Structure 1
Amino acid sequence: MKTLLQPSRTSTSLLATTAPLPTPTHPDDVLVRVHATSPCAGELRWAIDYPAAIPADKLLVPCQDLAGTVVTASGKFHPGDRVYCRVSAARAGAARDYALPRASELARIPPSLGWVEAAATPLSALTAWQALFVQGTLDAAGIEDGGSDDARARNGQVRVLVAGAGGGVGSWLVQLAALAGAGAVVAVCGPDKADAVRALGATEVVDYRKTTIKDWVAGDGDARECGLVVDVIGGETLAGCWAAVRDGGALVSITAAPDALRPEGVVKTLERSLFFIVEPLGSNLEEIGELVEAGRVRPTVDSVWEFDEYEKAFERLDSGHAKGKVVIKVSGEA
């Protein structure tokens, strides 16, 4: 089968090569024919930057998101099932003809999604779901059909700020926070993405090219502080998020521990201040899939590339200008 491969743990380049089909070695392994996949920003540096999280024996195939067809399996999934998932970063990814996700990671693709949209969904949607409803303080019961009145009332008391709202994860954060009934959804993004995030449910937009988060908050003091702030950018942006989160609120980041970037002199005491790594849970993806099929949320695709255009796909991703997910077609069916 064809596959992409990092030559070594210290390399950030990729080569296109061939390899034998993967062989299941775990009772939960499911052999899947991959039709489309999606890379993640920074993933070619994972083994360098997070060596403890990447096993020494990992086959360095990139792209942990997949959409494909079950080939051989037992139990819940059957040959021919259309499935998608996020494969754990500890195992080989999906930039190859066949991959080995685990049944616990898989969910069936909503009928309304094609291969490309399905491949664009798992990582971004799961990260947003867990940031808001597992690590954050919104109640997922507020997005159920009709919504729990109590949950929506609680969510309605929470202003949510999303730093990096125009990207793959950010677009899901905006949609899910709005759907859950958050009191406000503040989207921090560039001006070229303002209309898109408003269409997804943002009630306010902060143009980071014109103002910092700190200066924006200072423009109207306590009224602009938020009970839940989610950062997907890191660095100075994460440091600026301390100005936006209210005392007693929650600050969640997928880039770094917020306390490590707490500005000097900030004395707020937060209910939650944490960095987390997404769990590739098929059960969460099933819930998201129901919302997709009901037309209540949708994936955002920036661009689609053929398998042999993988270098251009990663360049687009690394440019920082992608408006949603970058997807690579693996099979001719995608």
Structure 2
Amino acid sequence: MKAIVCDKYGSPDVLELKETKKPIPTDNQVLVKIHSSSLNYGNLVLLNGKPFLARFAFGLTRPKYSIPGGDIAGTVEVVGKNVKLFKVGDEVFGDLSVCGWCGFAEYVTVPEDALVLKPTNISFEEAAATPMAAVTALQGLRDRGKIKPGHKVLIYGASGGVGTFAVQIAKSFGTEVTGVCSTRNVGILRSIGADHIIDYTKESFAQHTKCYDLVLGVNGSNSILAYKRVLKPNGNFVHVGGSESQLYQTLFLGPFISMTGSKKISSLLQRANQKDLNDVKELLETGKVKPIIDKRFKLSEITEAFKYFQEGHAQGKVVITV
């Protein structure tokens, strides 16, 4: 089969399209013929090994996983004898980040608990755009952010992969959502239901002091003190992405802020799981959430896809068609 191979950390130019051995599923796995996959921030970490702390999970001197790619959507081609949830021909999607990655390939073997059935009302590309970003948004809002109906929610970096899901998921909880983006992305936020939009090229979100019950920081390099200022008493700030400086502030200054006042500062490390993906599947089936796809690239165009993605201006998700 054809697969993208990454044997060393570096720029997108280190990625190579190679012929590799087609995997054979064990008794507890399924073999999936991949139709589509997508790019996430975790793919960049796996590519360039930054931040350095991530190398303790992904390999200190070289990538632990030679075939990158987390999100996939495809068709079950073979099932192991112990598999109960799926049969040959089922259309599925899932996040492989906790079971070896290998999504940038024509085939992959997957434990059945990493997959769910693809909703019939979305395409393979839309399904592949969903798992990691949508589950990250769900866990940040619901589990870490303690979102409730009637809350006022601010999403910084609302037009990217996680952000577009976060806006829609927050709306599904019955909240009032404000999205922060640049001028070129205002239309996207309007189309997915944001109640208010702050164009950061024209005004600062930090001017809106003590306005929000929950702030989700998806992107940017803002001081967490700026986020703290816009929180209501007992409000929550959840960091899910952005600059290294913002991450380290959250990790090291956040606990002090949380212990000395009513406002809580925390960071989320998304963990893929079948239950949360099934929750996302239900949102997709009911039309409460729709994946936003910016660009599509072929597997052979993976280098160009990464170069575009790492510029940080994608409107929604970047998808790889296999």
Normalising by structure 2, report the TM-score.
0.86
Contact 1:247 1:268 in 2 (8 A): no
Q: Is the 8 A contact 1:65 1:87 kept in 2?
A: yes
Pair 1:239–1:301, CA change in 2 (3 A): farther
Match of 1:133 in 2: 142
Over the aligned positions, Cα root-mean-square deviation in angstroms equals 2.5
2:230 match? 244
| Per-residue deviation, 1:39 | 1.4
1:1-334 residue pairs with structure 2 within 5 A?
Answer: 1-9=1-9, 13-24=14-25, 28-41=28-41, 43-46=43-46, 47-48=49-50, 49=52, 50-54=54-58, 58-73=64-79, 74-88=83-97, 91-138=100-147, 154-156=148-150, 158-182=151-175, 184-214=176-206, 216-217=207-208, 221-222=209-210, 225-236=211-222, 238=224, 240-255=226-241, 256=247, 258-260=250-252, 269-270=261-262, 272-330=264-322
The whole-number CA distance in structure 2 between the counterparts of 1:58 and 1:36 is: 23
SS at match of 1:241: helix
Overall identity of the aligned pairs, in %? 30
CA distance in 1, matches of 2:84, 2:42: 35
Q: Report the residue type matching 1:228 in the other structure.
A: L
Is the Cα–Cα contact under 8 Å of residues 107 and 283 in structure 1 kept in the other structure?
Answer: no
Structure 2 CA distance for aligned equivalents of residues 232 and 319 of structure 1: 15
Gaps of 5+ in 2: 242-246
Aligned to 1:141: none
TM-score (norm 1): 0.83
Tell me if the contact between 2:294 and 2:314 (Cα under 8 Å) persists in the aligned partners.
yes
Q: Per the alignment, do residues 164 and 310 of structure 1 end up closer, same or farther by CA in structure 2, a change over 3 Å counting?
A: same
1:124, 1:168 within 8 Å by CA — same for their partners in 2?
yes
The amino acid of 2:58's aligned partner reads: I
Separation in 1, partners of 2:223, 2:299: 34
1:278 deviation in Å? 1.4
TM-superposed deviation, 1:272: 3.6
Measure the CA separation in 2 of the matches of 1:28 and 1:55.
Answer: 26
Distance 1:133 1:267, change over 3 A: closer
Q: Residue type of the partner of 1:94?
A: G
2:244 aligns to what?
A: none
Deviations 1:198-235 (A, max 9, x none): 22121111111122322x22xxx43xx21111111153
**Mapped partners of 2:320, 2:257: distance in 1:** 46
- Note the residue ranges of structure 1 that are not aligned, 5 or more in a row: 139-153
4+ long deviations beyond 6 Å? 264-268
| 2:7 counterpart SS class | coil
> In structure 2, what residue type is equivalent to 1:58?
K
